[in-house]
A and B are shown apart, each in its own frame.
Chain A
Amino acid sequence: MRAYFSDIPRTLLAMGYWAFMLYLLVPLTLMMAMSFKDANFIAFPIGDLTLRWYSQVLHDKQFLEACLYTIAIAVATTFAATVIGVWIAMLIAQSGSRWSGILFALACLPAVVPGMISAISLRVFISTIDMPTGTGAIVLGHTVHAVPFVVVMALTRLRSMPPNLVDAARDLGADSIVAFFRVTLPYLGPAIAGGMIFCVLLSVDDFVRTFFLGGYRPTLPMLIFAKVQGGMSPEINAMATLVLIVTAAVGLYAEYMTRRSRSR
């Protein structure tokens, strides 16, 4: 940070950073603060504080069921997307340059298709294969959405892998399968862990696919959506705050893990 940079208006940029930070955090902070309001409606100023919304939420059967349902979907999605994503990444890594470009573009397709279109096309698709809407369809939709991210993460890690590692395993008597499970997969470990957490968050956050593919059991985003549309009370804030804290903690942990593995 020598003189060259000091003549860029550093202070201005620093102020910009903190203003942006404020912009990002203020709405969420307000949202969390409102969850403590001791009144049946959402309005500023907050006034008296209470924890009753939290106790209400934690005793709300609908909320708890939605939590479990969301988690179940996320777990299934994560498992499926990780297996398929890593598999696709392995194929791309091992194909020639011409094929790998095409395959990579194909693998990334669901990530560039706007969410709404993705949801609609999946809705059409499951009806053409006579699959009912509901849990299976949601998991399928979430998995399609999550696979590209796993592919990119796994592929990045695979490309940094010394090519001789697999050769060494094969040389020492491992066939391709053993070499994959004993050398490649552990090497991918950090990328897979990061990818899995990303899958969980994508699935938990997803609204539009769930909306079009789901049945009558609401996931957390659907529950919150319904409540926001149906008139607001600080209960939603308590609910959203709980979800936010959990997902942010998971996200931060993932970030911390991937950073640590990268620095090693």
Chain B
Amino acid sequence: MASIEAAQAELENGGPMPRYSTNISRIVNSRLYQLTLGAAVASRAGRLALLAAVPLLWLAFLHIGPIYQMAKISFLTSYPLQHGRPASYTLANYAIFFSESIYFMPLIRSFVFSLASTAITLIVVFPVAYYVAKIVRPDWRSKALLLLLVPFWAGELIRTFSVIMLLANRGALNFLLRDIGLIDRPIPMLYTSFSLGFGLIYLICLYMLLPLYSAIDKIPKHLLDAAADLGAGPFTRFRRIVLPLSRDGIVSGCSLVFLTCIGVFATPMLLGGPTNVMFPETISGFFHGASDKWPVGAAFALIMLVSALTTAGIFMRLVGGKATKLM
């Protein structure tokens, strides 16, 4: 009987009592809180300080700080600085870059590979993104996208390593070609420009997919319907509607892929072989061992940063989209 009554009472009161947070008032009314945070948020200045101090310090010190310091030591005549001796500045570290082809060739190579990879990635991924965004049935769309994202979570090194499985002399591709009798001896594919390009594209293609997908996904379908209704064929629709309207996605995707590609360190070392030294490897040479070569390395890094960002900037200006969704 008692339990029935309790149940009855419970029913009348809308079920068991929810767990209310009574602690919140205890905290807020405690002396400690009142004197510290409570006092701080009571004034406009206090609120602003609480909101802005940590983020601003972080941005200034850790987002700008490293680049600033790197830029600074790139002009130093000697590093590390010795006590008592004033720092003296020079442009000599930059001059070294232009002095020998073993220094500037890797940068050119990095640019060529990155630009080519970006272009190939765009051409390969665009139809895929279009297919998923506009042709796959809506209820299958997120699954189709998810399937593409699986390798995305594998990480740089594992993906690079898996490319070795495919392209090595005793890798799957050579085995397959030999097995069906196309070749007698393995084609050396690994440690060539081919394996490097293949690996780079394999590494970065998904960075292109997401911006493109979200841009194409946003194109209202009725625009395509309207264009078709007005007599535009598939090619015209693509050129006049799909392409211009996915411009933002193209710009963000290409910038992201290019900037990622040019900064990749491990993949060229594992796939590129000795004749394909990329600029990051050149830079890293100055940072092994003692720090007296750092100014040159920093100068090289700055050259790369500026040229890469300039390239991305020129590209954005030329294409004219907004890279709002860079990530």
Contacts and interface: CB of A to CB of B under 8 A. Distances in A.
Contacts of B321: none
A231 to B, nearest CB: 12
Contacts of B45: none
A58 interface: no
B69 A124 contact: yes
A13 B304 CA distance: 37
Interface string A5-27: 10111100110110011011111
A31 B69 contact: no
Nearest to B165: A30
B278 to A, nearest CB: 9
A178 B24 contact: yes
B54 interface: yes
B63 A31 contact: no
Contacts of A107: 59, 63
B16 interface: no
Interface residues of B, number: 103
A252 B148 CA distance: 11
Interface in B47-94: 47, 50-52, 54-56, 58-59, 62-67, 69-70, 73, 80
B69 A103 contact: no
B103 interface: no
B155 A114 contact: no
Interface in A138-154: 140, 143-144, 147-149, 152
B131 A16 contact: yes
B301 interface: yes
Given A107-B63, A116-B265, A250-B153, A124 B73 contact: yes
Interface string B249-293: 000000110011011111001100000000110011001000100
Nearest to B38: A175
A134 to B, nearest CB: 16
A144 B161 CA distance: 27
Given A107-B63, A228-B161, A21 B154 contact: no
A236 B67 CA distance: 36
Contact of A120 (B157, B176, B283): B283
Contact of B170 (A43, A87, A205, A244): A43
Contact of B148 (A21, A118, A120): A21
B59 A103 contact: yes
Contacts of A248: 150, 153-154
B266 A225 contact: yes
| Interface residues of A, dominant DSSP | helix
B95 interface: no
Interface residues of A, number: 94
B128 A17 contact: yes
A27 B202 contact: yes
Contacts of B62: 125, 140, 143-144
A111 B144 contact: no
Given A124-B66, A251-B152, A119 B294 contact: no
Interface string A101-139: 001001111111111111111111101100000000000
Nearest to B291: A127
A124 to B, nearest CB: 5
A90 interface: yes
A261 interface: no
B4 interface: no
B146 interface: yes
A247 interface: yes
Contacts of A217: none
Given A17-B128, A116-B284, A120-B287, A111 B175 contact: no
A238 interface: no
Contact of A208 (B161, B265, B298): B265
Interface string A199-220: 0010011011001100000000
A220 to B, nearest CB: 8
Interface of A: 1-5, 7-10, 13-14, 16-17, 20-21, 23-28, 30-31, 34, 42-45, 84, 87-88, 90-91, 94, 103, 106-125, 127-128, 140, 143-144, 147-149, 152, 175-178, 182, 201, 204-205, 207-208, 211-212, 221, 224-225, 228-229, 232, 236-237, 240, 243-244, 247-248, 250-252, 255, 259
Interface of B: 21, 24, 28, 37-38, 41-42, 47, 50-52, 54-56, 58-59, 62-67, 69-70, 73, 80, 124-125, 127-128, 130-132, 134-135, 137, 142, 144, 146-159, 161-166, 168, 170-172, 174-176, 202, 205-206, 224-225, 228, 233-234, 237-238, 255-256, 259-260, 262-266, 269-270, 279-280, 283-284, 287, 291, 294, 297-298, 301, 304-305, 308-309, 312, 326-327
Rank and list the top 7 A-B pairs by shortest CB-CB distance, nearest first.
A114-B263, A251-B153, A205-B155, A121-B66, A43-B170, A31-B162, A44-B175
Given A88-B55, A244-B153, 4 more contacts: A44-B176, A114-B262, A182-B24, A228-B164
9 contacts: A4-B224, A13-B131, A20-B128, A27-B159, A112-B259, A116-B264, A120-B287, A120-B301, A121-B66
